[in-house]
């Protein structure tokens, strides 16, 4: 296993870096680097720029618009995007439902949905969690009853990220309540504009409207929107979550935020000296940097395995746990660095207005409290690791 980049891989990184410098709009970059909130138009604008370049879905097969990059090149690409401060390509379409459609969907589903995902014609959201069925997702109760050539869906989903913007939602629904709970679940693609779909916002502690409750009241869904086989949805869900958890690690973004933290702390004065020279605070930063370096080495080992044809396995849970712990620790140390000045919520600045004072970081801190919960809570991931890796 060689964790060093080759000359060709370094040249690839330089080419990506040069393209990003030439094509990343300055106003989008400023929002990302300064922790401003991104709107729907920001996400769509960057997605379409990347799609025009042919880089919107690097992991897809070449016949559907993939780049043909090696796993190492894809890792380098992600690193360069993070360092440059690009808005993310939202994962719900490109990295979550698309792999499921590619692997288990019909040819008609591939031909219709994949081009629309690629160029962001359709904005997707995820319908997994329910009240009482979060970490224990297999207990979900949203019901889809087959009636001829359609399903009639009733139930509720919650914590639906950016569902207020979505055109489509991929849902786990119960199609056979008489079976063992994991065996009676199906994977449906539902148009959010269908009659009977209601989206209700959940305002979070950072005073943002990012997540939602979604209600289904006798929503009619064409049977053609069933992915794969009926009652096999749990298999497809596990396949999807493996891709999601690997991406949550976000090492490149954490490396960028570590540099931000160091600059922030260096500018703070404690007893006439930089906060970074305070032994106790410096030790916290050093410990975090070591954790991040170890996480990066683990990611590179996974990338090396993928280059040899190995898919994401239980190590995806390890990346998810450590990646989110690092992300949360970064925001904690940012707030600690500037103290009470982190507290005010200047919502107009979070939405893009300019100012000279230090950005309020409490909203950023609060938003990252959720990372250890979504994508499968860290407690559940530790159970998976103990069973699948340690054999306990």
pLDDT tens by residue, the chain, 392 residues: 556 789 999 999 999 999 999 999 999 999 999 888 899 999 999 999 999 999 999 989 999 999 999 888 998 999 999 999 999 999 999 999 999 999 999 999 999 999 999 999 999 999 999 998 877 888 999 999 999 999 999 999 999 999 999 999 999 999 999 998 889 999 999 999 999 999 999 998 888 889 999 999 999 999 999 999 999 999 999 888 766 556 678 899 999 999 999 999 999 988 889 999 999 999 999 999 999 999 988 888 877 766 666 666 677 788 889 999 999 999 999 999 998 888 766 655 555 555 544 566 888 899 999 888 887 788 888 887 887 777 76
pLDDT value of residue 356: 43
Domain with CATH 2.40.110.10 in the chain: 123-231
Taking CB atoms within 8 Å and a gap of at least 24, the contacts of 6-15 are: 9/72, 9/73, 9/76, 12/73, 12/76, 13/76, 13/79, 13/80
Token readout for 214 is: 């979604």
Q: What is the pLDDT of residue 379?
A: 85
Cβ–Cβ under 8 Å, residues 70 and 62:
no
Bridge partners, residue 211, by sequence: 202
pTM above 0.75, yes or no: yes
Residue owning tokens 């103990």: 386
Q: Taking Cα atoms as reference points, which of 390, 384, 389, 392 lies closest to residue 137?
A: 384
- As annotated, the active-site residues are 244
Backbone torsions φ then ψ of 355, nearest 5 degrees: -175, 165
Q: Give the three-state DSSP class for 237.
A: helix
Q: What are the residue ranges of helices labelled H in the chain?
A: 7-23, 26-33, 40-53, 71-84, 91, 98-104, 107-118, 233-248, 251-266, 279-307, 315-338, 347-350, 362-367, 378-388
Q: How many other C-beta atoms can be found within 10 angstroms of the C-beta atom of residue 195? A: 9
Kindly give the pairing relationship between strand 226-227 and strand 185-191. antiparallel
β-pair partners for 146? 151
Query: Which regions of the chain carry the CATH code 1.20.140.10?
Result: 249-388
In CATH, what class is 123-231? mainly beta
Which residues, 6 or more positions from 251, have their beta carbon under 8 angstroms from its beta carbon? 79, 82, 292, 295, 296, 299, 323
Q: How far is CA 338 from the centre of its chain?
A: 28
Domain 249-388 has what CATH class?
A: mainly alpha
**Could you tell me which of 256, 237, 247, 198 has the C-alpha nearest to residue 32?**
256
Question: Which residues share a beta bridge with 150?
Answer: 147, 222
């Amino acid at each position: 296993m060689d964790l060093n980049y080759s000359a060709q891989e370094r040249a690839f990184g330089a080419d990506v870096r040069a393209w990003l410098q030439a094509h990343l709009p300055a106003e989008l970059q400023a929002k990302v680097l300064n922790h401003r909130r991104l709107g729907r138009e920001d996400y769509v604008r960057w997605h379409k720029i990347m799609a025009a370049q042919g880089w919107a879905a690097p992991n897809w097969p070449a016949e559907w618009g993939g780049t043909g990059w090696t796993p190492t090149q894809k890792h380098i690409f992600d690193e360069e995007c993070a360092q440059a401060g690009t808005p993310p390509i939202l994962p719900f379409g490109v990295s979550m439902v698309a792999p499921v459609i590619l692997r288990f969907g019909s040819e008609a589903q591939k031909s219709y949905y994949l081009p629309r995902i690629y160029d962001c014609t359709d904005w997707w959201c995820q319908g997994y969690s329910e009240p009482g069925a979060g970490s224990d997702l297999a207990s979900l109760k949203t019901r889809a009853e087959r009636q001829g050539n359609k399903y009639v869906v009733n139930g509720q989903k919650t914590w639906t990220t950016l569902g207020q913007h979505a055109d489509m939602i991929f849902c786990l629904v119960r199609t056979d309540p008489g079976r063992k709970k994991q065996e009676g679940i199906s994977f449906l693609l539902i148009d959010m504009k269908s009659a009977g779909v209601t989206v209700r916002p959940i305002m979070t502690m950072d005073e943002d409207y990012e997540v939602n409750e979604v209600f289904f009241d006798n929503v009619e869904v064409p049977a053609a929107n069933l992915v794969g086989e009926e009652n096999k949805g749990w298999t497809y869900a596990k396949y999807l979550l493996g891709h999601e958890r690997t991406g949550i690690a976000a090492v490149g973004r954490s490396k960028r935020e570590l540099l931000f933290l160091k600059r922030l702390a260096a500018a703070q004065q404690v007893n006439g000296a930089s906060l970074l020279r305070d032994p106790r605070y410096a030790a916290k930063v050093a410990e975090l940097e070591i954790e991040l370096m170890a996480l990066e080495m683990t990611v590179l080992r996974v990338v090396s395995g993928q280059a040899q044809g190995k898919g994401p396995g239980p190590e995806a849970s390890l990346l998810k746990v450590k990646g989110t712990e690092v992300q949360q620790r970064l925001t904690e140390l940012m707030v600690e660095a500037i103290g009470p000045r982190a507290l005010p919520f200047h919502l107009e600045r979070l939405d893009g207005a300019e100012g000279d004072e230090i950005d309020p970081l409490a909203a950023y801190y609060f938003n990252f409290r959720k990372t250890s919960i979504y994508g499968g809570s860290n407690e559940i991931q530790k159970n998976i690791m103990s069973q699948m890796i340690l054999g306990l």
